[in-house]
Amino acid sequence: MRIDIITVLPQLLESPFEHSILKRAIDKGLVEVNLINLRDYSTHKQKSVDDYAFGGGAGMVMSIEPIANCINALKAEREYDEVIYTSPDGELLDQKMSNRLSTLKNIIILCGHYKGVDQRVRDLFITKEISIGDYVLSGGELAAAVISDSIIRLIPGAMSDETSALTDSFQDNLLAPPVYTRPADFNGIKVPEVLLSGHTANIENWRYEESVKRTKERRPDLLK
Ligand code: SAH
């Protein structure tokens, strides 16, 4: 898989891909992540990528020309399955969406800034708009990192234990059950007996029941 992230702040996005599961997936060649500096596609002397909003009002708008130049240059090299724009008015990211995106070959993620991008960018180039939650960020970079993280960890081979992703929250519309590690007794507070029993079927049953219980309590909407 290849993820091309278009941003005015490539440095902001370096660290998320330099650690843990994401780094390992990149090192193993399971995914290639390219941070593309939008300013490289600006034809202005000052490399500007934004301008005043038509009709006035506070806040700058990201111009269409550098974004068009950048996306067209990428598209000339390969086909893309999705050209994503991070936006608070997009479709809410969830595990189902991440599962689907993780099966794609090439995607572009465009990070917005200021008041967002000129609407014509969205009309002409964007195939999918994703929000990571009902709040407003200063830029699309952290959203792009969240989207990429949730996708990359699902690529087979990215996690050392492949079954781990399948037992995470939201797969099967259930939240994950509680987890424990040593010591079995912390100041008299004990780990549930069944987890120490070594009885796989009973443990699986307990975990399933705890998952259902937790989902009913915290996210009954998932069970509908
Ligand atoms: N004026 C816009 C918000 C701009 S915030 C509005 O009210 O909808 C600047 C940029 O941050 C956006 O263009 C988008 O790329 C990114 N962003 C902000 N909040 C986001 C969210 N919840 N999910 C994904 N991207 C977001």
Q: Is 7 in the pocket of ligand 1 (CB under 6 A)?
A: no
Distance from residue 136's CA to the centre of ligand 1 (Å): 5
Within-domain flag for 157: no
176/222 Cα distance (integer angstroms): 12
Same domain, 43 and 127: yes
The answer to whether 107 touches 84, Cβ cutoff 8 Å, is yes
Same domain, 177 and 147: no
Same domain, 179 and 135: no
Rounded to 5 degrees, φ, ψ at 67 are -65, -40
* CATH of residue 77: 3.40.1280.10
* CATH of residue 205: 1.10.1270.20
Same domain, 182 and 133: no
- Of all helices (H) and strands (E), which one includes residue 206? helix 200-218
Within-domain flag for 161: no
Q: What is the pLDDT along the chain (224 residues), one digit of tens a residue?
A: 999 999 999 999 999 999 999 999 999 999 999 999 999 999 999 999 999 999 999 999 999 999 999 999 999 999 999 999 999 999 999 999 999 999 999 999 999 999 999 999 999 999 999 999 999 999 999 999 999 999 999 999 999 886 788 888 898 899 999 999 999 999 999 999 999 999 999 999 999 999 999 999 999 999 98
Total domains present in the chain: 2
For residue 177, give its domain range. Answer: 169-223
Same domain, 148 and 188: no
Same domain, 148 and 215: no
Distance from residue 112's CA to the centre of ligand 1 (Å): 6
Q: Which tokens sit at 64? A: 């269409």
The answer to whether 153 touches 159, Cβ cutoff 8 Å, is yes
Within-domain flag for 13: yes
Same domain, 131 and 207: no
- SS3 for 89? strand
